[in-house]
Amino acid sequence: MDTITAPAVVQLGSQVVIGTCDIAGAGARALLALQAPASSNLVRTVHTLQWGGAEKCRAVYKRPSTASTGSADSDAPLLLVNYGRLAHAPLVSLLVVNTPAASGQDPALAHALLQYIQSHAAASATPKPVLLACALRMAGADSKGAFPYVLALNAAEPPQALGGLQPLPGSTRVLDGLLAALIHCIHATGQPAVCLVVPGYKPSRANVEIDPLLPVTSRLGQHVAAALGLVYDEAIAGQLMPSYVWQADLRDHSGGDIMYL
């Protein structure tokens, strides 16, 4: 099974976050819009990761070349973004999955992500639960609701900033192949993790002037930023536009027909 590699050995911070190209693309887009607070001395470093299953994948969200803010680091389908006081000593690591996996590749990608996290964990720090940030289609949920939901796995303790959020209902159907596979791998390995989920919906193919998915991304990004001590920049998120209309895998590949929480 293919593993995830980086051009050089890169250590992960004690807090790792995974953002995926979910049904609304909110997880990946929100992480790409995170910034260090202006008053902090955090250093941001970006690393392109390689995974055999992503050879034919393309990044969904890209910044226009005319954008005046940030860099073109969103052009790779799989990125590691580290924040730390020193470039080689990160505190927070963002794993940005800015592409849908090829058909049937969700379990392999989920396994590779968990393996990468566990093999590159910071040895000297007390690891915190992995944070999964995503949008999920939820029957009966208000996609314009004010707050996300949380799901704690393997007795994980949610970050203090997320402590007041409602737990994800146990009857929720995980109609997201990668998220279902990640949850399955997390259960199998015993990795403590917390899912931060906002209700979402798939993008329209219509060419409209407004960005209907930006509010979904912003609700997610603001809560992720609060949990990490970073800043969510909605202006940067607004510059990150999809380079193509993707189709998220809405099947569950965890072993059953449908995964329920």
Q: List pLDDT tens digits, range 33-43.
A: 999 999 888 99
When pLDDT is averaged across residues 172-189 and rounded to a whole number, the result is: 93
Residue in the structure block whose two tokens are 């399955």: 184
In terms of Cα–Cα distance, which of 183, 136, 165 is closest to 226? 165
Does the pLDDT of residue 108 top 50, yes or no? yes
Does the pLDDT of residue 261 top 90, yes or no? no
**C-alpha pair distances (Å), 170 with each of 31, 150, 166, 173, 174:** 26, 11, 12, 9, 11
Query: How much is the pLDDT for 254?
Result: 46
When pLDDT is averaged across residues 63-88 and rounded to a whole number, the result is: 71
Query: How much is the pLDDT for 181?
Result: 95
Of 155 and 243, the one with more pLDDT: 155
Q: Show the tokens assigned to 222.
A: 């603001």
Per-domain residue ranges of the chain: 4-242
Query: How much is the pLDDT for 234?
Result: 96
* Main-chain phi, psi angles of 44, to 5 degrees: -100, 125
Minimum mean pLDDT range among 56-60, 123-127, 164-168: 123-127
Does the pLDDT of residue 66 top 90, yes or no? no
In b/e form, how buried is each residue of 188-203, taking b as 16+ CB within 10 angstroms? eeebbbbbbbbbbbbb
Query: How much is the pLDDT for 10?
Result: 85
Task: Label residue 257 by pLDDT band (50, 70, 90).
Answer: very low
Query: How much is the pLDDT for 142?
Result: 55
Contacts (Cβ under 8 Å, ≥6 apart) of 185: 107, 110, 111, 113, 114, 191
Q: Show the tokens assigned to 163.
A: 């402590």
Of 65 and 78, the one with more pLDDT: 78
Query: How much is the pLDDT for 173?
Result: 87
Residue 45 gets which letter from DSSP? E
Does the pLDDT of residue 214 top 80, yes or no? yes
Query: How much is the pLDDT for 244?
Result: 82
Does the pLDDT of residue 153 top 70, yes or no? yes
pTM (2 d.p.): 0.89
Task: Label residue 124 by pLDDT band (50, 70, 90).
Answer: low
Q: What is the average pLDDT value for the chain, to the nearest integer?
A: 84
Beta-sheet strands, E only, within 36-160? 43-48, 50-51, 61-62, 78-86, 89-97, 130-136, 149-153
When pLDDT is averaged across residues 235-259 and rounded to a whole number, the result is: 68
When pLDDT is averaged across residues 177-206 and rounded to a whole number, the result is: 89
Does the pLDDT of residue 252 top 60, yes or no? no
Query: How much is the pLDDT for 161?
Result: 94
Would you call 248 helix, strand, or coil by DSSP?
Answer: coil
CATH 3.40.50.10490 fits 4-242, yes or no: no
When pLDDT is averaged across residues 208-234 and rounded to a whole number, the result is: 89
Query: How much is the pLDDT for 256?
Result: 44
The DSSP element (H or E) to which 194 belongs, if any, is strand 193-199
Query: How much is the pLDDT for 69?
Result: 43
Task: Label residue 102 by pLDDT band (50, 70, 90).
Answer: confident
